[in-house]
Amino acid sequence: MRVLQNEVPKVTPWEVKGEVDYNVLIKEFGVEPLTNELIERLKKHAGVLHLLLRRGVFFAHRDFGDWLDSYEKGIRVVLYTGRGPSGQTHIGHLIPWIFTKYLQDIFKAILYFQVTDDEKYLISPGVELSEIKKYAYDNILDIIAVGFDPERTRIFTNLDYTKEIYNIAIKVAKHVTFSTAKATFGFTESSNIGIIFFPAMQAAPCFMHQIIEKEDAHVLIPCAVDQEPYWRISRDVAPKLGFRKPAGIYSKFMPGLGAGGKMSASLPDTCIFLSDSPEDVKRKIWNAFTGGQPTLKEQREKGGNPEICVVYWYLYYLFEEDDKKVYELYEDCKHGNIICGDCKKNLTEKIIKFLIEHQIKRKEAEKIIHKFILKSRQE
């Protein structure tokens, strides 16, 4: 999506701002573009390609081909993803989770799902631990509602499953110098010492299966590309600990609803939260930034600009399954055959339907949460 912003682009695990050029990011982060050849290889296993692949939302990777090789050779493949519980879950967070579920279903893979309550406490000024823990529980219900297999999904929070994670994290930390951490994450003299250690906590699950289950495994991390700096550390350390380097598959960012496309949980009207009511959705989508002309007459005559329209991008990213309809929407907008009100109504209906279903599954998740949560082993 093209966004209208004057800010200098910046993508870190804690901040995404400015107009993100994904081709530049591929070079900057040293990741590989997800090629048609790789997508076709995945299709052989999947049968059907997920729309997030068909539409290029997942656009980059590291060693995804090697991970497929491992699967084809019968080596254990494992998935790893996560959430930092700083607030309610929004639709953007679902992008990697929906995709992870798709991969879990295809490869029947064990999934390690880390909830970094420690991270969010450390980076959020003035926030109490109790508040973060409440969000962690809340977010876990959203995670379970995505439909992960309870037999194969292991969710844990760093502050509860500490003994196991910390025992792995120190092994990672021993191999990462402060100078590397500083260069990778931009730490400064005023960064608190907790957050400086934290990258080892997020790297640790890359080696959990191997260490806890004592089994060779090839890990794949599906996430948005902002998390990539962690995997640089994990991949550097992996051979030093005698493990395979984790592979990764990375998505673009679902845009926010305002002009400029920034999604920020601190500006609630820029995001659709999974707990939103139909009224919230109607209001937010009605006020969303579009590429429409100021008047109906001009829209009909000159057409709109779907490239900068968040309503179009929401349909494109997640809410319109039919590729032909997405294409027609684009063309109809450009040629003034549809108006913004039509698109907003269409998207509002789709999101409300999706959220009602999600909220029912979330309620059911309360009853089965115990099937997913990893408990520390008592000695």
Nearer to ligand TYM, 71 or 185 (CB): 185
Question: Is the alpha carbon torsion for 215, 157, 223, 52 positive or negative?
Answer: positive
Q: Tell whether residue 351 is a contact of ligand TYM (CB under 6 A).
A: no
Q: Tell whether residue 136 is a contact of ligand TYM (CB under 6 A).
A: no
**Contact pattern for ligand TYM over residues 97 through 126, marking x by CB under 6 A:** -----------------x-x--x-------
Number of residues that bind ligand TYM (CB under 6 A): 23
Nearer to ligand TYM, 184 or 251 (CB): 251
Nearer to ligand TYM, 92 or 306 (CB): 92
* Nearest distance in Å: CB 167, ligand TYM: 17
Please choose, out of 82-90, 124-132, 184-192, 341-349, the segment that lies near ligand TYM by the rule CB under 6 A.
82-90
Nearer to ligand TYM, 265 or 339 (CB): 265
Among positions 50, 61, 62, 83, the unique one binding ligand TYM when judged by CB under 6 A:
83
Q: Tell whether residue 81 is a contact of ligand TYM (CB under 6 A).
A: yes
Nearer to ligand TYM, 231 or 304 (CB): 231
* Nearest distance in Å: CB 291, ligand TYM: 19
Nearer to ligand TYM, 71 or 156 (CB): 156
Rounded CA separation 68/45 (Å): 9
Please choose, out of 42-50, 145-153, 159-167, 216-224, the segment that lies near ligand TYM by the rule CB under 6 A.
216-224
Q: Tell whether residue 299 is a contact of ligand TYM (CB under 6 A).
A: no
Q: Tell whether residue 82 is a contact of ligand TYM (CB under 6 A).
A: yes
Q: Tell whether residue 93 is a contact of ligand TYM (CB under 6 A).
A: yes
* Nearest distance in Å: CB 134, ligand TYM: 15
Q: Tell whether residue 254 is a contact of ligand TYM (CB under 6 A).
A: yes
Question: What are the phi and psi torsion angles at 250 (to 5°)?
Answer: -120, 140
Q: Tell whether residue 223 is a contact of ligand TYM (CB under 6 A).
A: yes
Q: Tell whether residue 270 is a contact of ligand TYM (CB under 6 A).
A: no
3-state SS, the chain, equals CCCCCCCCCEEECCEEECCCCHHHHHHHHCCEECCHHHHHHHHHHHCCCCHHHHCCCEEEEECHHHHHHHHHHCCCEEEEEEECCCCCCEHHHHHHHHHHHHHHHHHCCEEEEEECHHHHHHHCCCCCHHHHHHHHHHHHHHHHHCCCCCCCEEEEECCCCHHHHHHHHHHHHCCCCHHHHHHHHCCCCCCCHHHHHHHHHHHHHHHHHHHHCCCCCEEEEEEEHHHHHHHHHHHHHHHHHCCCCCEEEEECCCCCCCCCCCCCCCCHHHCCECCCCHHHHHHHHHCCCCCCCCCHHHHHHHCCCHHHCHHHHHHHHHHCCCHHHHHHHHHHHHCCCCCHHHHHHHHHHHHHHHHHHHHHHHHHHHHHHHHCECCCCCC
Q: Tell whether residue 184 is a contact of ligand TYM (CB under 6 A).
A: no
Binding residues for ligand TYM, rule: CB under 6 A, are 13, 80-84, 92-93, 95-96, 114, 116, 119, 202, 221, 223-224, 226-227, 251, 253-254, 263
